[in-house]
Homo-oligomer: A and B are copies of this chain.
Amino acid sequence: MKDVEDIPALMQRMGAAARAAAAELAFAPAEAKRRALEAAAAAVVARAGEILAANARDLDFAREKGLAAAMLDRLALDEARVAGIAAGLRAVAAQDDPVGQVMATWDMPSGLHIRRVRTPLGVVGVIYESRPNVTADAGALCLKAGNAVILRGGSESLHSSSAIHACMVEGLRVAGLPETAIQLVPTRDRAMVAEMLRAVEFIDVIVPRGGKGLVGLVQAEARVPVFAHLEGICHTYVDRAADLEKARRVILNAKTRRTGICGALECLLVDRAFFEDHGAPFIRDLVAAGVEVRAEGQLQAVPGTVPAKPEDFGHEFLDMICAARLVDGVGGAIEHIRRYGSQHTDAIITEDDAAAARFFAELDSAILMRNASTQFADGGEFGMGAEIGIATGKLHARGPVGAEQLTSFKYLVEGDGSIRA
Kindly list chain B residues whose C-beta atoms are within 8 Å of the C-beta of A121. 394-395
Chain A interface residue count, CB cutoff 8 Å, equals 62
With CB as the reference atom, state the residue of chain B lying closest to A123. B394
The proximity string for A residues 354-391 relative to B, scoring 1 for CB distances below 8 Å and 0 otherwise, is: 00100011101111111111011000011100000000
- Check B399–A250 contact: CB distance below 8 A: no
- Check B420–A383 contact: CB distance below 8 A: no
Q: Restricting to A249-283, which residues have a CB under 8 Å from any CB of B?
A: 249-250, 252-254, 257
- Check B26–A417 contact: CB distance below 8 A: no
Kindly list chain B residues whose C-beta atoms are within 8 Å of the C-beta of A288. none
Binds B, one of A39-47, A135-143, A408-416: A408-416
For the complex, give the distance between the alpha carbons of A243 and B415 in Å: 12
With CB as the reference atom, state the residue of chain B lying closest to A361. B27
A108-B381, A376-B112 given; A371·B418 CB < 8 A: yes
Among the interface residues A361, A382, A413, which one has the most CB atoms of the partner chain B within 10 A?
A: A413
The proximity string for A residues 6-50 relative to B, scoring 1 for CB distances below 8 Å and 0 otherwise, is: 000000000000000001001100000000000000000000000
Q: A396 on the interface (CB 8 Å rule)?
A: yes
Minimum CB–CB distance from A304 to chain B (whole Å) comes to 22
Q: How many copies does the complex hold?
A: 2
For the complex, give the distance between the alpha carbons of A415 and B416 in Å: 50
- Check B410–A367 contact: CB distance below 8 A: yes
- Check B243–A371 contact: CB distance below 8 A: no
A121-B395, A396-B395 given; A370·B415 CB < 8 A: yes
A381-B110, A395-B396 given; A370·B413 CB < 8 A: yes
- Check A249–B119 contact: CB distance below 8 A: no
- Check A369–B409 contact: CB distance below 8 A: no
Kindly list chain B residues whose C-beta atoms are within 8 Å of the C-beta of A372. 112, 413-419
Kindly list chain B residues whose C-beta atoms are within 8 Å of the C-beta of A396. 395-396
The proximity string for A residues 335-354 relative to B, scoring 1 for CB distances below 8 Å and 0 otherwise, is: 00010000000000000000
Kindly list chain B residues whose C-beta atoms are within 8 Å of the C-beta of A409. 398
For the complex, give the distance between the alpha carbons of A119 and B249 in Å: 31
Q: A5 on the interface (CB 8 Å rule)?
A: no
Kindly list chain B residues whose C-beta atoms are within 8 Å of the C-beta of A395. 121, 204-205, 225, 395-396, 408
Partner of A112, one of B257, B381, B415: B381
- Check A416–B205 contact: CB distance below 8 A: no
The proximity string for A residues 305-344 relative to B, scoring 1 for CB distances below 8 Å and 0 otherwise, is: 0000000000000000000000000000000001000000
Kindly list chain B residues whose C-beta atoms are within 8 Å of the C-beta of A246. 416-417
- Check A418–B364 contact: CB distance below 8 A: no
Q: A245 on the interface (CB 8 Å rule)?
A: yes
- Check B411–A366 contact: CB distance below 8 A: yes
For the complex, give the distance between the alpha carbons of A399 and B26 in Å: 19
- Check A415–B368 contact: CB distance below 8 A: no
Q: Restricting to A164-211, which residues have a CB under 8 Å from any CB of B?
A: 204-205
A112-B372, A121-B395, A413-B376 given; A250·B364 CB < 8 A: no
- Check B365–A410 contact: CB distance below 8 A: yes
For the complex, give the distance between the alpha carbons of A254 and B417 in Å: 11
For the complex, give the distance between the alpha carbons of A110 and B250 in Å: 13
A371-B417, A410-B367 given; A394·B122 CB < 8 A: yes
Additional A-B contact list (12), CB under 8 Å, known A249-B419, A368-B410, A373-B415 = A108-B381, A108-B383, A250-B417, A252-B419, A368-B411, A369-B413, A370-B415, A372-B413, A372-B414, A372-B417, A395-B396, A395-B408
19 residue pairs of the A-B complex, CB under 8 angstroms, read: A26-B364, A27-B361, A100-B361, A110-B376, A110-B381, A112-B381, A121-B395, A245-B417, A249-B417, A250-B417, A356-B414, A366-B411, A367-B410, A371-B415, A372-B418, A373-B415, A376-B418, A395-B396, A398-B410
Top 8 closest pairs, chain A to chain B, by CB: A372-B415, A246-B417, A253-B419, A396-B396, A372-B418, A394-B408, A375-B420, A369-B413
